[in-house]
Amino acid sequence: MIHVAGRIPEEFISEVRNNVNIVDVISQYVSLEKKGKDYIGLCPFHQEKTPSFTVNEEKQFFKCFGCGKGGNVFKFLMYKDNLTFPESVERVAEFAHIPMPTGYGKGSAPKLSPIMRMHQDATEFYHRVLLTTKAGERGMQYAKKRELDHDTLEHFKIGYAPKQDNVLITYLRGKGYQDDDLAKSGLFVQSKDGRLFDRFRDRLMFPLDNENGKTIGFSGRRISNDKTEAKYMNSPETEIFTKSKVLFHFAEAKRAARSEGHLILYEGYMDVIAAYKAGVKSGIASMGTSLTDDQIYMLRRVTPNIIVNYDGDDPGVHAEERAARMFNKDGNFNLGIVVLPEKLDPDEYVRKYGAEKYREEVKGALTPTDFFLKRLAQKYNLDNDREKITYLNEAIKEISQVRNPVEQDMYVEKLARSAGVSIESLKANLARERRKNNRARSHMRQYRDYSVPTDTSIPESAPITEEVPQQTEAQQHPCQTRLLYLFIHAAQAQKYLLEGHFHFPDKDFESLANLWIKYQETHDNPQIDGFLDFIPEQLQGIIVDAELAEMPKDFTIQEVDEYVQSLQKRSIYSRLNELKNQLQDAKRKQDVQEILKITQEIIGLKRILG
């Protein structure tokens, strides 16, 4: 029941807890905005459109009112990074720059699953082969050709997979991994007779990390000129690697986003690396697939400021268009779009024009509307009046999608100037287009309100919907929550309830009252945030809800009496319902003695109610 805190001394746990601000830790995962006393953001544990994830700095607790998860800083990391309690203490201590007590910590590093461990070992192995072995010289020559310097190789943990088909398998078997786990890892291919061979051979290896910087897959770049082999080879999907939920360099870029003020989305990881060499540290890329809703949500949690810089060729610009539409559909982004000249990709551009010029291109990112209008202008011959009219109609449709009226005005003026037509005529067209949009929207609303779906199943790709917030414990049990809060925070209320032999009707609340008494007896300075680590997980939600319910600490004995009486009445009514059912059973069985006994109890309870 009590953690014994993974045998880490309790004074140390308190020291760690008291030396960090939960807001600073959670800000590494969620973009938080101050609202009154609290900070709010998008929940990292479930997808939502309206932020319901709240961090209370004063109490040092977090709570999501959408999915119900809540707790202190240790609990947050336990949920987010799937850590045990001792691992979470160690992570927070690291954050606070407090060394672990002798005999704890790195020696008992977090227990990763065999497949996770295997990927960390493989990363190290490939990296060592590239930097220190004769077999790796071939990879190193290619890295030099691509201008990957030592700092870049270290930062991205780049490695080399030798030509032979049994190098990694031999190494990992030597480290004691079982064939069952090796087969599931995605690092190997299996022959018809069940033998395992290295999947990646003669490739420069780029580790793909999860949100915490732990390797969960690889992408291998072919370095031979053999065109029959794929240029890039990615890990297959495994229990730890889902392509649509991974962004290359995300763990590092999140940190850089705080100083650079944005994240930059690229098409491939070589572009991220080129940008990194040019001094842009906040680059990320989706892994060879089109951008997904999951990835967009990951970005939104970190920052609303996103710059998209795909390749400058036609497919790249088409992909940029699609990405911009996806971000616009979400509507919560401040989006910039970079289209590099001469159809160059970022890697080529940096090599041709240098880092300084590239950073200027990023600063000059277009708004999505500017980007779409430029694209539109390229589709028409604007010297031909008929095509010009079509272009202006299409451009006004685009501008009508913009939500901000000031922005709309700005684009209309720009369009009028460039096309040599009057602002008034374009504004008249814009007003007509807006009316059309409003009619379509209200028609859709009516359709939604009046149509009854015949198929009640939810399609797999259903969009995020606004869910009904879960009722908190404080809302479900207001009287018991208030009494428990006073029991913990007001010694006089606790004494009064104990002397009156009061018991909480709900067993969880009763357990918490007993645990608090034990906690008081064994701690010189009992604090609520320390108590949270002392109690079983299933009871922690009640404490968090009570703490975040903004209750006053002052009270009167009369208030306590009213709550106690209210709970007693409720339990009497509940008992009366039970007895009525029992009475019907007894009458059906014609059990005279039982009827008499139940009737007497009912009369007694009704007398108490008055």
Residue 191 lies in a domain: yes
> Which of 514, 532, 555 corresponds to the end of one domain?
555
What is the rounded average pLDDT of the residues 432-441?
A: 77
CATH number for 130: 3.90.980.10
For residue 16, pLDDT beyond 50: yes
Domain boundary among 241, 261, 295: 241
Q: Which residue, of 46, 63, 96, is where some domain finishes?
A: 96
Question: What pLDDT, on the 0 to 100 scale, is given for residue 107?
Answer: 47
pLDDT of 110 over the 60 cut = no
Q: Which two tokens stand for residue 239?
A: 């229990």
454 is a domain residue: no
pLDDT at 167 exceeding the cut of 80: yes
High-pLDDT (> 90) share of the chain, %: 35
Q: Same structural domain for residues 128 and 28?
A: no
Same domain, residue pair 81 and 134: no
Same structural domain for residues 217 and 259?
A: no
Q: Do 490 and 426 sit in the same domain of this protein? A: no
92 and 124 share one domain: no
Same domain, 334 and 226: no
Q: Which of 209-213, 232-236, 430-434, 604-608 has the highest mean pLDDT?
A: 232-236
CATH at residue 67: 3.90.580.10
* pLDDT score, position 461: 37
Q: Has residue 280 been placed in a domain?
A: yes
User: 440: pLDDT confidence band, cut at 50, 70 and 90?
Assistant: low
pLDDT at 459: 36
CA distance 284 to 277: 14
Domain check: are 118 and 230 in the same one? yes
Q: What is the mean pLDDT of residues 499-521?
A: 89
User: Is 237 in the same domain as 274?
Assistant: no
Q: What integer is the mean pLDDT of 244-266?
A: 91
Do the Cβ atoms of 605 and 575 come closer than 8 Å? yes
Q: Is 457 contained in some domain?
A: no
Residues 67 and 141 in one domain: no
**pTM to 2 decimals?**
0.68
Number of domains in the chain: 6
User: Do 320 and 432 share a structural domain?
Assistant: no
Q: Are residues 80 and 155 in the same domain?
A: no
Structure tokens that stand for 440 in this block: 């379509």
The residue type of 332 is: N
pLDDT for res 471? 67
Question: What domain range is 84 assigned to?
Answer: 10-96
Packing angle between helix 537-548 and helix 507-522, nearest 10 degrees? 90
pLDDT of 96: 83
| 464 found inside a domain | no
How far CA 14 is from CA of 25, 32, 118, 294, in Å, comes to 16, 25, 34, 36
Residue 173 and residue 182 in contact, taking contact as beta carbons nearer than 8 Å: yes
How far apart CA 344 and CA 341 sit, in angstroms, is 6
In a domain, 561, yes or no: no
pLDDT of 390 over the 60 cut: yes
In a domain, 514, yes or no: yes
Average pLDDT over residues 131-151: 94
Asked whether residue 207 falls in the same domain as residue 266, the answer is: no
Residue 462 lies in a domain: no
Q: Count the Cβ atoms, other than its own, within 10 Å of residue 220.
A: 23
Cβ neighbours, 10 Å, residue 210:
19
User: For the domain that residue 287 is a member of, what is the CATH number?
Assistant: 3.40.1360.10
